[in-house]
Amino acid sequence: MQPAPQTPDQCEASTEQIGWEALRARVATCTACELSRSRTQTVFGVGDPGARLVIVGEAPGAEEDRQGEPFVGPAGRLLDEMLRAIGLSREQVYICNILKCLTHNNADPTPAQAAACRPLLARQIALINPQLILAVGRVAAQNLLQVTTPLSRLRGQIHHFATVDRGASLPVWVTYHPAYLLRSPQEKARAWEDLKAVRGLLKRPSP
Ligand code: URA
């Protein structure tokens, strides 16, 4: 039996070709960073692996860590409502996070944690091969796009996520994190603008 990959580079090399179930198993047993020692379980993702839209959040919270599913708390309920507003259900999209494990005290992912998880997320997105990725919140957007630009400047335009193995570049839209919208409901009107843009982008024929 081969030893589990330990560094992000080793992980990237070995995840590039694997299929969905092998990826799921790789995530479940991942020890690429120290968060593997404190998690209850990994949170792989939920929804349709053939979805046209992938939602990328930050990292599982305590409830997600307990249930093994992303966005199951109050923020998740708002995310469901946001999706419903553009005619989509949780089952019709795919929802995952930058990190597959709960961080200590819900801290933002460190660069090392994000780098350790990135090959797994990249492979997951490549396998889904969606028409559009929606990054929710600053942490998700900055990590996905590997930039430090503030969220306010990332909104309102198409960005690109390059998939390693397919050589493709998938469009990315950025909006507020639903947890932020719960704290700042005055921003919901702007979030609605983002959602309408997502609806429009999904109507475009796939290239
Ligand atoms: N916040 C996130 O970014 N992801 C989750 O899965 C839950 C809350």
State pLDDT tens for residues 97-133: 999 999 999 999 999 999 999 999 999 999 999 999 9
Best residue for ligand 1 mutational test, from 35, 97, 103, 151 (most atoms within 8 Å of Cβ)? 97
The secondary structure element, H or E, covering residue 170 is strand 169-175
Centroid of ligand 1 to alpha carbon of 1 (angstroms): 34
Centroid of ligand 1 to alpha carbon of 24 (angstroms): 18
State pLDDT tens for residues 141-166: 999 999 999 999 999 999 999 986 55
Position in ligand 1 atom list of the atom nearest CA 63 = 7
Position in ligand 1 atom list of the atom nearest CA 178 = 1
Centroid of ligand 1 to alpha carbon of 59 (angstroms): 5
Rounded to a whole number of angstroms, the distance between the first and last alpha carbons of the chain is: 41
Q: What is the pLDDT of residue 85?
A: 98
> Has residue 4 got a pLDDT over 60?
no
Position in ligand 1 atom list of the atom nearest CA 139 = 3
Is the four-CA dihedral 63, 89, 122, 194 of positive or negative sign? Answer: negative
Q: Left (φ > 0), alpha (ψ -120 to 50) or beta: where does 95 sit? A: beta
Centroid of ligand 1 to alpha carbon of 13 (angstroms): 27
The phi, psi pair for 53, rounded to 5°, reads -125, 125
Ligand 1 interacting residues, C-beta cut-off 6 A: 57-61, 64, 70-71, 75, 97, 179
Best residue for ligand 1 mutational test, from 58, 63, 66, 151 (most atoms within 8 Å of Cβ)? 58
Answer yes or no: are the C-beta atoms of 88 and 75 closer than 8 Å: no
Q: State the pLDDT confidence band at 3, using cuts at 50, 70 and 90.
A: very low
94: helix, strand or coil: strand
> Has residue 205 got a pLDDT over 90?
no
Q: What is the pLDDT of residue 34?
A: 97
- Is pTM, for the whole model, over 0.75? yes
